[in-house]
Structure 1
Amino acid sequence: MHQIAREQRTRWAPVAAMGLAMLVVTVELTLTAVTLPLIGADLGAGPAATTWVVLAYALPTAALAIPAGRWADGADLRRVLLLAVTAVGLTSVLAAAAPTFELLVAARVLQGVAGALVAAVYMPLIRTVVAPSARGRALGYVTTIMPAGTMAGASLGGLVAGAFGWRPVFLIKLPLLVAVLWLTHRTVPPAPGGLPMPGWTPVREALLLGGGVTAVLLALDRVQAAPVTAAVCLAVAVPPAVLWARLPDARPLLAFARGRRSGPLLLALLLACTIQGLTAFLLPYAVGSPELLGLALLFHIGTLAAVSPLAGALADSRGPQTIARLGIAVTLAGLLTLLTLPADPGLLDLAWRLVIIGGGQALFNAPHNAALLAAAPPGQTGAAGGASITVRTLGMTLGPAATALAWTAHGDLRAGVLLLAVLQLAALAAQSTARTRP
């Protein structure tokens, strides 16, 4: 058992270290996105090719989350976090110094692997250093740090790229990484386990599960532009998924996914995360003005950051699943207000609707993570956390793909909004069927 099981005492400094580490992992996507045109011009890559700078990071982070989490369950979390954060720094330097586009993509893949290791520690560390009665608040604080930092990171990345070019953008997080290393070294308690060498079994699991998840994500990404390619990717995903399911080490995780408590929670997470289709596809096409949408999204992200601590506190006092259900319901209500969005919306028309949706997402995220953490069997927190990361990524990829199809079929915002509303309603139903106790 971890130390907290004996002491029942919360240590907030390691929570801060974990929050900053997760910020580094999530901000990497927005930091890089603002540099894509500059990277393409400097390294001779077209717009379609430059998207691989983002995909090369996101794919391994999602694909390796489960094997990395399983490995972290048997390791010293302090050493894993120190290793992972150091690897993020080193691979960032490699990306900044890449002389060719191909080497940049390779560096981004390595960054994604390091990001998967950071994410693997997230839930196990919270379980180790936070008392059960305070886990909602801890997850709420981490959820606050991530959107606020992502918003600031995107702005800072744009300023740095405009003044100094794209390469320094990969380096601006290094001081933050040093702070995370110092906090981790000073405050995270050591534990038995060390850094075990992965044997053939976890490597085989990483190859099979990683290959299957990557193929599914690529299929979702290409379902509109290249449906035949998407179908081939889905077909390619089946054999490794079947082989992985037959591994002995996969049985506990499959049992977790089928559990009467945890299974509906994972399904609710998948469906709820399709809301990403709203900001990643529907609104950019419906609004048309990047400047207007950018300003409106500040209200959305600001609400996420402001409400998340309250959501965590409510999860501790009222129960995480109750607050998570409330969050989905509020998100659904916010979505339905978009059905009355004017054809030529102004900032106020967008802002108040996005405030409701952002508040709903905040009420869902931290409480739902707390519910999943409570549902994870002892000794499998990392694997369960990895499963949630993979499911979340699949949902965030499915949302834009589904709304793109709805837009193509009907050519307006309402069809996509109604589709997302149906998915949120299904998420609410799944969340409501999850048992409160194992």
Structure 2
Amino acid sequence: MDVTTAPRTTERTRWAPIVALGLAMFVVTAEMTVTAVTLPGMAADLGISPATTAWVLLGYALPMAAVAIPAGRWADGASARAALVAAMVGVGVASVLTAVAPAFWVVVVGRLLQGLAASLVIAVYMPIVMVSVRPEQRGRAIGFIITIMTVGGVIGAPLGGFVAGALDWRGVFLMKLPLLVAVAWVALRTLPRDGRGLPRPGPGLLGEAALLGGAVCALMLAVDFVDDAPLVAGALVVVGAVTAWGWTRLPGSAPVVAMIRGRVFGPVLVALLAASFTIGLVAFLLPFYVSDVLRGSPEVTGTVLLFFAGAVAPVSPLAGALSDRFGTRVVAVIGSTVTLVGLALMLTVDADAGPVGLAWRLAVLGIGAGLFNPAINAATLAAAPTGMEGTAGGIAMTARTLATTVAPGVVALCWALAGGGLAGFRSGVLVLGAVMVVGLAALLVPTGRRVKA
């Protein structure tokens, strides 16, 4: 696959493509929170059980994670302009299919197609930054994109709830269409034509996608079976490990494996994986702590989480600018350190802390995340070999997805072993802190090369 025929950098920064990319990432990341509000209405309308509706969320997440790396490799040889437009068309068509679905199986098919199209957005994320933004401004561009994504995650559920109430669950899947059209229009007007188009994936790449995708899906599904069917979960882990090993034996996987093992990219990936584990606090520990210790409602959990998101959004642009000035690793180390401080503060909460005590501690964690995320994304881009920026983005996406899938299960186990309550909460936080220490240590390992976006 030829990845050298298009320019890999730019002489001047074009911000319009970054705005379009930010909006596209907004659609991709908000899709999970927006869709969650459709589940009760969908269950009643299509006559399915609440448990079955979990496939609405899983059907989107599985393909997006499963094909992230192959999609990234494909994007390295494709036109970023054409790929982003194709992704917007794909998301739009799949959304319409989901909205008009006469039966639940059609909804699942639509969600699978949405996830596949969304993986293309992830695949072209870093290549578009590469060709649109000067090297010394890439941190700021990524910080801007992350701010849009954070805001999207926060307003997704309320916005979806309003649309579902005014119309119905089908309208929620259609409300993004004007935004998709706008992103495609801006991409066509502002991204350069490079003559590469959309290459047809070869048999080798399709084989890699099948093996690696199967491994990722098996590992993600194993988490869902841990409690109800541990033997099935164990079997899925074995299948995933064997399939992943088979993928590493393919000739086409050699550059990806070499990148992951590299002295520059490897530590960045470890740090990203470790930081992504903190989702276990938000997805499991915090809701159960509020419920079991504070005797609070889900509304309390949602309210205190606003302080986390409210800290991430304004800090991210600042972190991007600091990364451009002082280097990505420096800012990522500071972000990791602040996150560790936030986790340490979480160990001091008790029943008397109340929502206010949780809120300001979550704000500290939000500052850490706001500093870390733009810096680590810029570091990922800087550490990628020339012509493999899409692959680097795919690897990062796979690492994030696996971490955010596994982390809630890990802390849930800690919670159960400690007997729940305050002891269970602190046990889970300790494990998350230990993982974060590993990530920080990885960033402090000398690489022999200064990584700066």
TM-score range, shorter chain: over 0.9
Distance 1:52 1:34, change over 3 A: same
Helix, strand or coil at the partner of 2:277: helix
Q: Which residue of 2 aligns with 1:370?
A: 378
Q: Which residue of 2 aligns with 1:356?
A: 364
Q: Superposition RMSD on alpha carbons, in Å? A: 1.3
| Mapping for residues 265-304 of structure 1, pairs under 5 Å | 265-288=268-291, 289-304=297-312
CA separation in 2, counterparts of 1:210 and 1:310? 36
Answer whether contact 2:12 2:132 (CA < 8 A) is retained: yes
| Mapping for residues 2-401 of structure 1, pairs under 5 Å | 2-3=6-7, 5=9, 7-288=10-291, 289-343=297-351, 345-401=353-409
Aligned-pair identity in percent equals: 53
What's the TM-score, normalizing by structure 1?
A: 0.97
Amino acid at match of 2:324: D
Query: Following TM superposition, by how much is the alpha carbon of 1:4 offset from its aligned partner in structure 2, in angstroms?
Result: 5.8
Q: Which residue of 1 aligns with 2:450?
A: 437
Query: Following TM superposition, by how much is the alpha carbon of 1:342 offset from its aligned partner in structure 2, in angstroms?
Result: 2.6
What are the superposed Cα offsets for residues 59-86 of structure 1, whole Å, 9 maximum, x if unpaired?
Answer: 1001100111111111111001000111
Query: Following TM superposition, by how much is the alpha carbon of 1:437 offset from its aligned partner in structure 2, in angstroms?
Result: 3.4
Answer whether contact 1:19 1:146 (CA < 8 A) is retained: yes
The answer to whether the aligner puts 1:420 opposite 2:432 as a matched pair is yes
What's the TM-score, normalizing by structure 2?
A: 0.94
CA separation in 2, counterparts of 1:115 and 1:55? 14
Query: Following TM superposition, by how much is the alpha carbon of 1:239 offset from its aligned partner in structure 2, in angstroms?
Result: 2.9
CA separation in 1, counterparts of 2:361 and 2:33? 23
Answer whether contact 2:8 2:387 (CA < 8 A) is retained: no
CA separation in 1, counterparts of 2:304 and 2:264? 37
What are the superposed Cα offsets for residues 258-312 of structure 1, whole Å, 9 maximum, x if unpaired?
Answer: 0011111111111110000011000111102211111111111111111000010
What are the superposed Cα offsets for residues 133-164 of structure 1, whole Å, 9 maximum, x if unpaired?
Answer: 01100100000000112211211001111232
Distance 1:344 1:40, change over 3 A: farther
CA separation in 2, counterparts of 1:340 and 1:350? 10
Amino acid at match of 2:335: G
Amino acid at match of 2:298: P
CA separation in 1, counterparts of 2:227 and 2:340? 25
Helix, strand or coil at the partner of 1:41: helix
Worse-superposed segment, 281-290 or 220-229: 220-229
CA separation in 1, counterparts of 2:322 and 2:225? 40
**Greater percentage in helix:** 1
Query: Following TM superposition, by how much is the alpha carbon of 1:111 offset from its aligned partner in structure 2, in angstroms?
Result: 0.5
Query: Following TM superposition, by how much is the alpha carbon of 1:180 offset from its aligned partner in structure 2, in angstroms?
Result: 0.5
Amino acid at match of 2:67: L
Query: Following TM superposition, by how much is the alpha carbon of 1:10 offset from its aligned partner in structure 2, in angstroms?
Result: 1.0
Please list every run of at least 4 consecutive aligned residues from structure 1 whose deviation after the TM superposition is greater than 6 angstroms. Answer: none
Helix, strand or coil at the partner of 1:127: helix
Which consecutive unaligned segments of at least 5 residues does structure 1 have? none
What are the superposed Cα offsets for residues 102-132 of structure 1, whole Å, 9 maximum, x if unpaired?
Answer: 1111110010000001110001111111111
Amino acid at match of 2:450: R
